[in-house]
Structure 1
Amino acid sequence: MNYATSLPWTLESLDFSRIDIQRVRQNEELFFLLCSASFVESGSDLYTHNLVDHFAGDQELQTWLSQHWEHEELQHGRALAGYVKAVWPEFDWERGFQAFWDEYGAMCTNEQLETSRGLELAARCVVETGTASLYRALNDITDEPVLKQLTHHIKSDEVRHFKHFYQHFRLYREREGFGRYKVFRAILRRVNEIKAEDGDIALRHVFNQCYPDQKDDDTAFRRVAERAHALLRRNIPAEMTVKMLLRPLDLPPRLQKAVEKPLAKIAEKLFLN
């Protein structure tokens, strides 16, 4: 099968030669966010293999993961890496990614997944919520046309991925019979993992590559990371984030409406340190 023909968009549709470099070149916070995202997305083949193993016997989900989700996620990584290389050619992306993957790849094991398949799908909804919110925020942050196009494509992909995981979550919820409390615990665990691992590790390796003389200076790293986090906090789509996070809990409409606004006020804390 030619997977490129089934992709919603292709790398070739992005014309990196049309990037208005001066609109983004001096924005270090944006560079850190884009580069760290490119690192995480570029490891999607390992995430996929772990999930395919976890859902052994579920041919429909395995096929979607390996023949669609993986290829779309890897395209995100290639597109983001290509953009970073075009705007910041002095940054050694391959070296930075290898250092990141040596650390992070070793942590991506099946043991990290929820033992319940249904609860793992709830956790996947959390991850897709985080990425959809990230790229929506990046899209709002930038006025550079090519990056605007790229982040719109990725955000749309992540929302669609969320819907697919959510559909399968509902099937497994019926099969496994777990309640809201277990779903809530699974959501909370994955939110905490995202905060503690993914973004922080990726940002740190971007920092190490940019500032090798400050590699062990945690204060200097935190200062740079906080500026990047602050940029996201100012642009995080809080309402969208909360609605997506609450979806697997399947709350009664009145309760859902009652908790959305209070949670929206603290939505940035769910994914940002």
Structure 2
Amino acid sequence: MTATAAAHWTIDDLDFSRIALDVVREDETLFYLACSASFIESGSDLYTRNLIDYFEGDEEVTQWLREHWEPEELQHGRALRAYVEHAWPEFDWEPAYRSFLEEYATYCKVELLAPSRALEMSARCVVETGTATYYRALARATTEPVFVDLASRIAADEVSHYKHFYRYFRRYRDQEQVGRARVFGTVARRTWELKSEDADCALRHIARSRHPAQAADRAWLRALGSRVSRVVSRNLHPGSTLKMLMRPLDLPPRVENALQVPIEHFMQRVFLR
């Protein structure tokens, strides 16, 4: 094990006995936020296999995906699951997750990746930006100290993952001579997809177990999704998000500055859809 891997946090670093149950027990929105995140993170091995197949032959990338990215993403899922099971022990996590995974697996296809390795790395930068932003927002959305600690740890991991994907993007961009216009198209499209069908899928399957009487009501589900989105949107701090999003575009400073306000408005629309 490398020194970096040895230094990485583990679930044992979290003291779930310290969860302030009086803060979270009645917070249904936080329940859905934490539980949906636990589902999506727990299914990250599906994406890892696709990416390893896509980047076959690039040992640096595939080794990092296999030995660092996948274990850390799966640990996020286990830690979030542990939090949910400590805070809301009446929720039967496993069968709800299995139901979710059956549908979620249909979204994870190699053919949905970007058409070149450079563009896929730029898309990965957007995804890591989105997840870092999401967990930072979750850390601000509650005062419960164990969840704040957990969400902050995951956000830091996502920033670290972003740095790796960005480095690989630069290498492939130079190899493929991909122009800024194509990178912009990928970044814009993937940003619009940040609030994706993945989250909606997770909410549906959680609701079927948590609130079966309401889960068949599409209006109720839409209201739930809107409530969850508003919590994230209200707690966004766009500064670092914008820098991460625009970095693969390698824009002149004056152009980057001019785009900050419209991109900030765009991000608000993404999370409020």
Q: TM-score, normalised by structure 1?
A: 0.95
Partner of 2:102: 102
Q: Shift of residue 247 of structure 1?
A: 1.1
Partner of 1:112: 112
**2 CA distance for matches of 1:272 and 1:58?**
38
For residues 65-94 of structure 1, the C-alpha deviation after alignment (integer angstroms, 9 at most, x for no partner) is 000000000000000010011001111111
Q: Secondary structure at the match of 2:193?
A: helix
Partner of 1:213: 213
Partner of 2:88: 88
Q: Shift of residue 28 of structure 1?
A: 1.0
- Displaced runs of 4 or more, over 6 A: none
Which moves more between the two structures, 53-62 or 185-194?
185-194
Contact 2:229 2:271 in 1 (8 A): no
In the alignment, is residue 197 of structure 1 matched against residue 197 of structure 2? yes
Q: Which runs of 5+ in 1 are unaligned?
A: none
What is the identity, as a one-letter code, of the residue corresponding to 1:93? W
Contact 2:204 2:221 in 1 (8 A): yes
Q: Shift of residue 7 of structure 1?
A: 5.5
In the alignment, is residue 17 of structure 1 matched against residue 17 of structure 2? yes
Q: Shift of residue 5 of structure 1?
A: 5.1
Give the alignment of 1:73-222 within 5 angstroms: 73-222=73-222
Q: Which runs of 5+ in 2 are unaligned?
A: none
For residues 86-124 of structure 1, the C-alpha deviation after alignment (integer angstroms, 9 at most, x for no partner) is 001111111111111100112201111112011000110
**2 CA distance for matches of 1:124 and 1:271?**
18
What is the identity, as a one-letter code, of the residue corresponding to 2:185? R
**2 CA distance for matches of 1:193 and 1:270?**
8
Which moves more between the two structures, 57-66 or 199-208?
199-208
What is the identity, as a one-letter code, of the residue corresponding to 1:149? D
Q: Shift of residue 260 of structure 1?
A: 1.0
For residues 218-244 of structure 1, the C-alpha deviation after alignment (integer angstroms, 9 at most, x for no partner) is 101111111111111110122222221
For residues 128-151 of structure 1, the C-alpha deviation after alignment (integer angstroms, 9 at most, x for no partner) is 011000000011112111111111
**1 CA distance for matches of 2:95 and 2:4?**
27
**2 CA distance for matches of 1:115 and 1:7?**
36
Q: Secondary structure at the match of 2:91?
A: coil
Q: Secondary structure at the match of 1:91?
A: coil
Q: TM-score, normalised by structure 2?
A: 0.95
Pick closer, same or farther for the CA change 1:191–1:31 going to 2, 3 Å: same
Which moves more between the two structures, 90-99 or 62-71?
90-99
Contact 1:104 1:201 in 2 (8 A): yes
Contact 1:43 1:101 in 2 (8 A): yes
Which moves more between the two structures, 202-211 or 12-21?
202-211
Percent of matched pairs sharing the same residue: 51
**2 CA distance for matches of 1:5 and 1:174?**
29
Pick closer, same or farther for the CA change 1:109–1:252 going to 2, 3 Å: same
**1 CA distance for matches of 2:9 and 2:263?**
34
Contact 1:191 1:271 in 2 (8 A): no
In the alignment, is residue 265 of structure 1 matched against residue 265 of structure 2? yes
Partner of 1:52: 52
Partner of 1:37: 37
Pick closer, same or farther for the CA change 1:115–1:181 going to 2, 3 Å: same
Pick closer, same or farther for the CA change 1:33–1:105 going to 2, 3 Å: same
Contact 1:238 1:268 in 2 (8 A): no
Partner of 1:231: 231
